[in-house]
Structure 1
Amino acid sequence: MGSEKLAHADARFILMSDFDGTITERDSNDTATDDLGFGVDRRRELNVDILNGDKTFRDAFAEMLNSVSKNGHSFDDVKKYLVKHITLDAGFKTCYKWCEEHDVPVVIVSSGMKPIIEAIFANLVGEEDAANIDVIANDTEFSDDGSWKIKFRHPESGFGHDKSRATAPYRDLANPPTIFFCGDGVSDLSAAKAADLLFVKVIPNHTNDLSVHCDREQIPYIPFETFDKVKDVIARIVEGKSTIDEELKRK
């Protein structure tokens, strides 16, 4: 099983985060499926199937995105629609700037498609900041007839993109960094146990699939609604004012 190349081998701390529904307020893939594909009801059925182990994330996610393409929506039209409708977590810019000032690399680890993420992100934070943040994600495959589908980073994996592989190579370093991971949903299941400290976005009256999974599997995490809390917790740890264990007790 392969893993990602080391981009930040000298870092003491790394913040890795899911993109859709974590850095953004709404999941762009859910938005595309709900608004342009087969709709929210079928999508939620598939999410439950993933949580229950009845379907792999890879197969269910491909089915969701294929429903958008099959409805006749071109990739460019989908990208423009999502750029228009997706908004940023209220605290992310502040968190990112703090990380930048304190030498904490920020890496997006997403099950979405890189061209979509880059377009949305450039619109939300500006092209300069967007270009400075690493994006590890799936890609897009196009056919001669103009149709498109997701191109999985790890097609042999049931996750399609096994996010735990982004953290794996750092574990073999003589001085491995402390890895923080932020996520919210079923695409983050593979990363839930791989980080030193897991932050789970928990929104009132929302489905909160990752928190349901972590509670069921007894995986420790810190819940958050915006990245303001993520920044505050990371700052205390990086500055030596607190430890991961203390923060988990404090949550």
Structure 2
Amino acid sequence: MATQEYKLEFDDPSNLFPQQKIYDNQKVVVLSDWDGTITNMDSNDWMTDNIGYNPYWVEGQTVDAETTAKGGVEGRSRRIEENVIILRQKETAALAGGEAEIRQEHTFNFLFKKMMDSVAKKIPLEECAQLLRANIKLDTGFTQFYNWCEQSGVPVVIVSSGMKPTIRAVLSNLVKPEQVAQIQIISNNVVKCDKEKDGQHWRIVYIHDNENYSSADGKIHGHDKSQAILPYVSRDKATRPTLFFFGDGVSDMSAAKHADVLFVKLNEGTHNDLMRFCRQEGIHHIRVRSFAEALPVVQRVKACGEDDARREATARVEVAKAMIGQSVEDVQVGIAEAEEASKAGDKEAVGRAMGVVKRAEEALEKAKATLEESVKVLLESARKGVEV
């Protein structure tokens, strides 16, 4: 991983959120989350654990590696405790009538600002960028994926609840500097502060400010990612491109349901909230562990060219094929979990496991029907193509 110096650049404070570039006349557009998707770990969590909430990290002081690591563990425990509070409040609010019942201090954007402020009080963003570049693991398959997209004229847009300057810094470990500059990043941003006057080196600025933005998802996450994909969704069928979306977490849910092909990125040893959401809501998706696994799917859809019906049907076939295999696996896992719970006499766990089985069976039947219908469209398209 690259460790050479990187010159971090702040955006013009008067133009933190330029108007989104819409890629007209494109038949395929890729949008992707950043943290936990292109990266294999959350860069903001890393900063919070190891710097902001690390009790041994003091600005200007050098601490040995063992003490730093110990502080990182303590910082992670504190962060997780605060995240649990948010999750519990969300569950309680849902039962009480929805997101509007959540107190401001229990929203993601309130807590995320608190976490980022804890980092900003201790270290300039320029130093954060170097530490992130040295420590954040990335999906190396993204390089191959992006290079193909660039050569094939497929736009790639990063849609993130993170901060644009640090995203660009870490992204420079995967692709060339000139490519970083070309990739459209729709995310929250950062402004530089006066440490003596403001008590911190920098502060996060949300793209969808809590006071001025009406979307529930914008108020909760500081960034409603659906706003990046809806300009394409709202187009008439003749000009609407096939939309691919990559994600892994809660903040991806608003955009994920609008994608034609949704890739859920799995990372070893981490809980995937987006996959759980898709299972519960019956949203078809393809689970991948690397962008390299997703590339052949995008290539097959792109190969359909200007034939809109064939391209749409091919995308549906790809998702349906994946869903059939995933649903069968989910049924098997659910049955095994139900059997284990039954042996332990845990009726509640048995019920939850059988609920997973039931939803997987429903997803399986839906995928089969989608596959059959889409194959018919492809066959009809093939017949037209060979008529003389």
Structure 2 length-normalised TM:
0.59
Instruction: Name which of 230, 238, 242 aligns with 1:168.
Output: 230
Compared with structure 1, are the counterparts of its residues 107 and 239 closer, same or farther at alpha carbon in structure 2 (3 Å cutoff)? same
Instruction: Name which of 64, 71, 78 aligns with 1:42.
Output: 78
1:153 maps onto 2:179 in alignment: no
Instruction: Name which of 276, 279, 283 aligns with 1:215.
Output: 279
Structure with bigger helix share is 2
- Whole-angstrom CA distance in 1 between matches of 2:274 and 2:20: 26
Whether the aligned pair in 2 keeps the contact of 1:50 and 1:186 (CA below 8 Å) is no
Q: How does 1:181-196 map to 2 (within 5 A)?
A: 181-196=245-260
- Whole-angstrom CA distance in 2 between matches of 1:35 and 1:80: 14
Instruction: Name which of 107, 112, 118 aligns with 1:61.
Output: 112
TM-fit CA distance, 1:172:
3.0
Counterpart for residue 122 of structure 1? 172
Whether the aligned pair in 2 keeps the contact of 1:8 and 1:105 (CA below 8 Å) is yes
TM-fit CA distance, 1:49:
4.7
Instruction: Name which of 250, 257, 262 aligns with 1:198.
Output: 262
Compared with structure 1, are the counterparts of its residues 218 and 161 closer, same or farther at alpha carbon in structure 2 (3 Å cutoff)? same
Q: Which amino acid aligns with 1:244?
A: A
Deviation string, structure 1 residues 71-126 (Cα, Å, up to 9, x no partner):
x1222221111111123212111111121222210111111111111111123312
Whether the aligned pair in 1 keeps the contact of 2:40 and 2:267 (CA below 8 Å) is no
Compared with structure 1, are the counterparts of its residues 167 and 49 closer, same or farther at alpha carbon in structure 2 (3 Å cutoff)? farther
Question: Which is further off, 128-137 or 107-116?
Answer: 128-137
1:235 maps onto 2:299 in alignment: yes
- Whole-angstrom CA distance in 2 between matches of 1:65 and 1:121: 20
Work out the percentage of aligned pairs sharing the same amino acid.
42
Counterpart for residue 9 of structure 1? 24
Question: Which is further off, 210-219 or 29-38?
Answer: 210-219
- Whole-angstrom CA distance in 1 between matches of 2:254 and 2:79: 20
Query: Runs (4+) of structure 1 moved beyond 6 Å?
Result: none
Whether the aligned pair in 2 keeps the contact of 1:4 and 1:166 (CA below 8 Å) is no
Whether the aligned pair in 1 keeps the contact of 2:38 and 2:139 (CA below 8 Å) is yes
Compared with structure 1, are the counterparts of its residues 5 and 134 closer, same or farther at alpha carbon in structure 2 (3 Å cutoff)? closer
Compared with structure 1, are the counterparts of its residues 243 and 41 closer, same or farther at alpha carbon in structure 2 (3 Å cutoff)? farther
- Whole-angstrom CA distance in 2 between matches of 1:249 and 1:194: 16
Counterpart for residue 142 of structure 1? 192
1:85 maps onto 2:135 in alignment: yes
Whether the aligned pair in 2 keeps the contact of 1:164 and 1:191 (CA below 8 Å) is yes
Partner-residue secondary structure (3-state), 1:64: helix
Aligned residue pairs, count: 248
1:224 maps onto 2:288 in alignment: yes
Structure whose CA Rg is larger: 2
Q: Which amino acid aligns with 1:33?
A: T
TM-fit CA distance, 1:179:
1.0
Compared with structure 1, are the counterparts of its residues 168 and 49 closer, same or farther at alpha carbon in structure 2 (3 Å cutoff)? farther
Q: CA RMSD in A?
A: 2.1
Counterpart for residue 144 of structure 2? 94
Structure with bigger strand share is 1
Whether the aligned pair in 2 keeps the contact of 1:47 and 1:186 (CA below 8 Å) is no
Structure 1 length-normalised TM:
0.89
Compared with structure 1, are the counterparts of its residues 49 and 17 closer, same or farther at alpha carbon in structure 2 (3 Å cutoff)? farther
